[in-house]
Structure 1
Amino acid sequence: MGKVKAADKDTGSLVELLPYWEIQGKAVYLKDSRAEIAFEVFLPNRETMGEEALTLFHRGLKGLLRTLRDNQRLRLLVQAKILEIDGVLARYAEGITAEEPFLREIGRQQLEELRRWQKAGQIYAHRYYISLPVGTPRLGYSTKRPFLAFLQDLFPGTKREPYVGYTVEEYEEFLKELEAYRSQVSLALGRAGLPHRPLEDGELFSVIFEYLNPDLPPPKGYVPTPLHMPRKGLPGGLGEASRRATLRSKLVRSTLDNRHLDRLKLGESELVFFKLVDVPDETWFGMLNGVLEAAGLPSWFVLDITRVPNAKAEGILRNRFRDYYVTAGQTDVPDIGAEEGAREVSEYIRYIRRSGEGLYLVSALLLLVDSDPRRLQERILETQTAMTALEGHPFMRLHRGVLRHFLEGLPFSGHALSRPRLYPETQAAHYWPTNGYWTYEAERPREVYLNRGNQPVALDPWDPKLPNYNALIVGESGSGKSYLAQHRLTEALKSDDVVAVAIDRHEWSYKGLYEAMREEGLAAMVKFGPESPTVINPFDLAPDQHEPDEVKLLQLEALFRQMLPPTGDHDPAIEEAILRSAILQTYRRRTTQHKAPDGEWERRYQGATISDLITSLNNLNQVTGRAPTPEEKAVAASLAARLDRWSRKTPLGKIFDGPSNVNIHPKTRFLYIVVQEVEGLPHFFPVAMLNVVQLLWRFLNGSPYPRRIAILEEAWYLLQNPTSATAVYDLFRRGRTLNISTWAVSQNLRDFLSEHARAVAANVSTFFLFRTQNTPEEIAEVVGCPVSFASLNSSLTKSLRHYSEAQVWLRQGEGGEGGIVRIIADPVRYWLFTTHPLERERREAAAKREGSVLKAVYKLAGGRQ
């Protein structure tokens, strides 16, 4: 195992201390003729791993450690760095295609917000690399005699290389060994449940470069040096400039300041070190997760695990037991510490023999890097606080010899960290971090969130990888449901191919967004209720229709079953058959035939109303293709009498029975439908909701925009009985064929546990869950996620005006994927979307002063425009 020479502030050149020779064939070749192979590994999503999955993952890591050869070191390198998301942002920007300035500008505002997050270091990732040395040092000649060393320095021509290179034949054999071991490690990583990929030459160079040059971005492209393997000195004919173009000289681009005992300075950045110096009293899987999160960025964590041969390991333990035993018996006064140590080592030996576990030397090093001294001090305190969660005090901040430890931690260097501690494989695997987070990148990202690891999650309501385009947004009052719905809505409307409808019982839920879009001529509102002059005729058809299709019939049947609930006097099945027959007869009676100029006969629908349906029921002439019986005529007459309360004869019925007076411009991008509740008439609201769902359906079908969004606020009202739930289900089921993304918004998942509501939830692929009053079992049953993931619902947090956390689950067939994301509120959208009563009042007061909602929102947001 490579060791680092002691170095002090008088070191002349960092280049001379580097062990690298060349990067070639996905391997880093070292000066001692060894090579290091490296993989980037991707940790599984911890948020969706239950205890069983975590146990299997731990077992897989132990299997990975068993693949190590005797005395071979495996290094895990964790790099916390700003994540380059230029590709995601570029595709996000491509979606800002709206012709309307307001929609285009609100998309650009979010794009700039994402860029600010990136610049401020709020978007970063932990990258995980493992590396292993292959081969043994090929020793040449060196002398320890001072006089001979002096002569060699005096006459450089007499100096001989301490290491020798390969012949062509030896190198070919070494390459075979390298590839065989790379395949073996790859297989072990797969068995451990770790997706991975080998690092390419340019990536190997970049990782080392970023370690040595924290202030500089790595070069865009890597150009190999002339020092190719197999090496037998520099190729002939190369000039002095080529001789200087070594890998080491390319890697070092920052000045090193080693004047301080407790820190290094590379370029403008300071480096502070924490070292594993003691064995903690207790270990557990993932115990370092909190430390890595607290370290922030930039930071490096180096974990070395070296397999100890069994005979050597047992010899070490026996010697340790002997030392404790002798110490305990040397004095008349019992040495309790020595006796306890001897007992622990004895139990340790018995455990190793009984379990068959191997022993490993473990050492760890944490580097905090920062160019801001004040921020570095804050990070040091946060890291030390996180370390107090560990048993004992296993980590210590280094106050001397930091350059040596810095060199020991060099990526892919063949070096090993000093002062390792002995562990059985179970405890050695406990040092492996488990803080993997869910990331997702849709082909066309329309919405970008951050997970708890500050990595982007890019979603698309029309994601072709999902079985449908529907979504369910659930959370208790004040959790952020309406904010998220409006956020997703504006993210979609920034494209020029999207139109949306929202149905709600509160005028204020979307009022800020509606008023702002209305000022730009982009939105329309329909208020439907007894106090409104709006009339929506449920018998309306599309302009090119003259008879109802199956969807329309289903909607009408659901509406009239809601108006005419079963009384118990007649068989519900007979009533349904009579209603369907009467509906069809009403359409036929209100359809006429006209002779076209070309001589062909064409049918024209003249428009029917509820009064016409009452007439058809009183004059029923056919039921399921036959003449009605006297009993069926009596049932029809009873239905007509009960339906009379919904006719224009009553104040309540006048908004249903008559020609529609709703005129919506086809270029409207957002239709806001408000269904008013009537105190004392609880049955009115679900009837009205079913009626406006038909308006929604007609508006979306007739819209020239190819992508459509339907938002059902307070969806639980429509899930209370099978009839209305069936109408909602049909909207969810047929939506994909018409490019409709339907979102149901509700406060409780129990609304979707009833038999007739389960079908609606089964046709949802995207779930957003804020904090709810549901149990983990209820969440898992509706969403289809693991119970372990559902149990995280109680851990969701929020900060007013800053962010809200939500669980996202993308259901795909029997499985799915998901994680926790943060919906971050930028000031403009916050003041535009907020439904908090006091903040709504501030927005409305500012709008009166400014004469515009948009101007008011920009002013409240701090002048950003």
Structure 2
Amino acid sequence: MFLLTFLVVNMADTKRKLENDVFAAAGIAQKNNCALTRLDYQQEAGLMSSVPLGENLIPIQRGLTTSSTAIFIPFITQELFQTGAALYYGLNALSNNMILCDRKQLKNPNGLILGTPGSGKSFAAKREMTNAFLITDDDIIICDPEAEYFSLVQRLDGQVIRLSPTGKGIDGKPQYVNPMDINLNYSEDDSPLALKSDFILSLCELVIGGKEGLQPVDKTVIDRAVRNVYRPFLADPDPEKMPILGDLYDELLKQPEPEAARIAAALELYVSGSLNVFNHRTNVELNNRLVCFDIKQLGKQLKKLGMLIVQDQVWNRVTVNRAERKSTRYFMDEFHLLLKEEQTAAYSVEIWKRFRKWGGIPTAITQNVKDLLASREVENIFGATR
């Protein structure tokens, strides 16, 4: 509880106008069930109590709760109005002032765009993409599961990479992205294989499926095969020696454990079967400042796999841009799909945490908040987002 003395100061050029103003103020207060009393013979004490001297000379007090008292404190609105390369994010609901923010100046630049269908998530993302493209020099990469950003990217002279089961891009020519791509800066450790192996484990988990995911023996076999597959390339980093998914498949077949044969059998569909779109070396240039991966045509079987592979391609781009001191903005729609499998969720969270240190600015977009909250890793996502 608080004891409050509420004073209203009325000033006017003439006595008549002052009396009229006091009468009008009392009438407005009366409409709101509040009685204002004129301080007869206490004018000086009232004025001295109103100025910011911290002294109350009026012995009239009213007991109020904390929430009721807070109404009388006018300077409580928090503003976000940064200068420099700040982007427009809307209006402050309380003060109506613009919200201008440079996410690179925040403690953590990671972001989430959440909302129900039709609430304007895609519009908010497009507005931020456009502002970032025009105001900053950052690279912008989009994972587009519903082909929503095609028109915007084309108008900004960006590059659209359409991934489909047939492997044909927008112009009808083959467009492939190799999930086994790696560069020597893939990790800050001496060997980039540790993080890449984590990605391959996540990929295999999506391929194998099941409620239990990968077992410890499965992970050991895959990790061994990954190290063997990348050994020639790391010894001589020639792009022609970059391994593909088929090389991992062949290496798994060489392993003596029965688990290796089971994993290879699961990969066969994506190596030599009808879904072999990711068993090719990358043949598209990813040097454009604005790149959109259109994965709508991948369908249900390949969509989550495509999102994971795009995320890995973004990480490759982030590691390259870091050496050039350039930021990389990554927008991913339907983010909740990456949090359903345990290993995939853990890898996504690890990348999410690493982005800030490496100059990445990820933005996850989803309407399935329920699915997002169902993941055990969501607390880490929220903890790494400001």
Q: Give the TM-score normalised by structure 1.
A: 0.37
**CA shift at 1:713, angstroms?**
1.0
Q: Which of these residues, 281, 296, 299, is aligned with residue 659 of structure 1? A: 281
Contact residue 185 and residue 320 of structure 2 kept, 8 A? no
> Contact conserved, 2:328 with 2:359, CA < 8 A, in 1?
yes
**Secondary structure of 2:25's partner?**
strand
1:686 partner SS:
helix
Partner Cα separation in structure 2 for residue 571 and residue 741 of structure 1: 30
Q: CA shift at 1:262, angstroms?
A: 9.2
Moved more, 470-479 or 559-568: 559-568
How do residues 662-681 of structure 1 correspond to structure 2 at under 5 angstroms? 662-665=284-287, 668-678=288-298
Larger CA deviation: 610-619 vs 426-435:
426-435
Task: Find the counterpart in structure 2 of residue 459 from structure 1.
Answer: 101
Partner-residue secondary structure (3-state), 2:209? coil
Q: Which amino acid aligns with 1:644?
A: E
1:433–1:688 distance in 2 versus 1, CA, 3 Å? same
The 5 Å alignment of 1:307-322 reads none
The whole-number CA distance in structure 1 between the counterparts of 2:100 and 2:146 is 30
Once the two structures are TM-superposed, the CA of residue 77 in structure 1 deviates from its matched residue by 7.0
Is 1:644 matched up with 2:287?
no
| 8 Å contact kept, 1:469–1:736 | yes
Shift of the alpha carbon at 1:581?
0.8
Structure having the larger proportion of residues in strand: 1
Which of 1 and 2 has greater Rg? 1
Percentage of pairs with the same residue = 18
Partner of residue 216 from structure 2, selected from 573, 596, 619: 573
What's the CA shift string for 1:641-687, capped at 9, x where partnerless? 2211001x22311x10011112123xx332111212555xx332111
Q: 1:615 aligns with which of 246, 250, 259?
A: 250
Higher relative contact order (CA 8 A, sep 6+): 2
Deviation at 1:617, TM superposition (A): 0.9
Whole-Å separation in 2 of the counterparts to 1:442 and 1:76: 35
Matched residue type, 1:552: K
Pick the aligned partner of 2:160 from 525, 528, 547.
525
Moved more, 740-749 or 432-441: 432-441
**Distance in 1 between residues matched to 2:361 and 2:22, nearest whole Å:** 51
Secondary structure of 2:283's partner? Answer: coil
1:446 deviates by 0.7
Tell me what 2:311 maps to.
693
1:513 aligns with 2:152: yes
Alignment partner, residue 226 of structure 2: 583
User: Is contact 2:144–2:295 with CA below 8 Å preserved after alignment?
Assistant: yes
Number of aligned residue pairs: 358
What letter is aligned with 1:724? T
1:399-420 C-alpha deviation (Å, 9 max, x unpaired): xxxxx9xxx89x8599xxxxx9
Structure-1 residue corresponding to 2:380:
759
**Equivalent runs, 1:68-79 vs 2, <5 Å:** none
Look up the match of 2:348.
728
Residue by residue over 1:293-318, the C-alpha shift from the partner in whole angstroms, topping out at 9 and shown as x without a partner, is: xxxxxxxxxxxxxxxxxxxxxxxxxx
Q: Give 1:433's aligned amino acid.
A: F
Q: TM-score, normalised by structure 2?
A: 0.78
Aligned counterparts of 1:738 and 1:539: Cα–Cα separation in 2: 21
How many angstroms apart in 2 are the aligned matches of 1:567 and 1:433? 56
What are the equivalent positions in structure 2 for 1:277-288 lying under 5 Å apart?
none
1:644, 1:455 → 2: CA distance?
57
What are the Cα deviations for residues 229-268 of structure 1, in whole angstroms up to 9, with x where unaligned? xxxxxxxxxxxxxxxxxxxxxxxxxxx7x6996999xxxx
The residue identity in structure 1 corresponding to 2:225 is A
Question: C-alpha separation between the residues in 1 aligned to 2:351 and 2:124?
Answer: 21
C-alpha offsets along residues 39-88 of structure 1, whole Å, 9 cap, x if unaligned? xxxxxxxxxxxxxxxxxxx53xx2x76xxxxxxxx85779xxxxxxxxxx
Letter of the aligned partner of 2:259 in structure 1? V
Does structure 1 residue 540 correspond to structure 2 residue 175? no
Contact 1:489 1:500 in 2 (8 A): yes
Matches within 5 A, 1:413-492: 424-426=61-63, 433-434=72-73, 436-442=76-82, 444=84, 446-448=86-88, 449-451=90-92, 452-464=94-106, 466=107, 468-492=108-132
Instruction: Name the counterpart of 2:301.
Output: 683
**1:450–1:274 CA distance, 2 compared to 1 (3 A):** farther
Q: Alignment partner of 1:563: what SS?
A: helix
Q: Which residue of 2 is the match for residue 274 of structure 1?
A: 24
- Counterpart-to-counterpart distance in 2, 1:490 and 1:77: 49
Quick check: 1:731–1:742 contact (8 Å CA) kept in 2? no
